[in-house]
């Protein structure tokens, strides 16, 4: 992993963009985000504060996209559950015939 803030912010921004693009393909099951911030970076240099703020905004946008995908999934799952329940209620009861008598 990168050893300085500039490289880390660049890698984090790219990881966010790649993850967001994977979400946008319509198959969120293949989207993965495995970026880990290094422990030994120290404080953020003041000259990178604006870059960090823009990446934080990007991160918030990606989080919003994830929440929207989760809401859509929950909505679709509820629709499937309702459809299954309706189909079970509308199903005519089985009629058994004794063919041995």
| Residue-wise pLDDT tens digits, 28-62 | 667 788 888 888 888 999 999 999 999 999 999 99
Kindly report the average pLDDT of the chain as a whole number: 86
Q: Give residue 86's pLDDT.
A: 81
Q: Where are the domains of the chain?
A: 1-24+41-63
Q: Give residue 58's pLDDT.
A: 96
Q: Residue 21: name the closest of 56, 72, 58, 70 by CA.
A: 58
Q: Give residue 3's pLDDT.
A: 73
Q: Can you say whether the dihedral through the CA atoms of 83, 86, 87, 88 is positive or negative?
A: positive
Q: Give residue 97's pLDDT.
A: 81
Q: Give residue 14's pLDDT.
A: 94
């Amino acid at each position: 992993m990168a050893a300085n803030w500039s490289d880390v912010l660049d890698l984090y921004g790219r990881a966010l963009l790649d993850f967001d693009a994977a979400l946008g393909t319509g198959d969120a099951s293949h989207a993965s985000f495995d970026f880990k911030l290094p422990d030994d970076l120290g404080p953020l240099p003041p000259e990178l504060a604006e870059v960090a703020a823009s990446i934080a905004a990007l991160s918030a946008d990606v989080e919003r996209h994830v929440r929207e995908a989760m809401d859509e999934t929950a909505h679709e799952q509820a629709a499937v559950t309702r459809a299954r329940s309706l189909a079970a209620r509308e199903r005519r009861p089985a009629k058994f015939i004794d063919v041995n008598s």
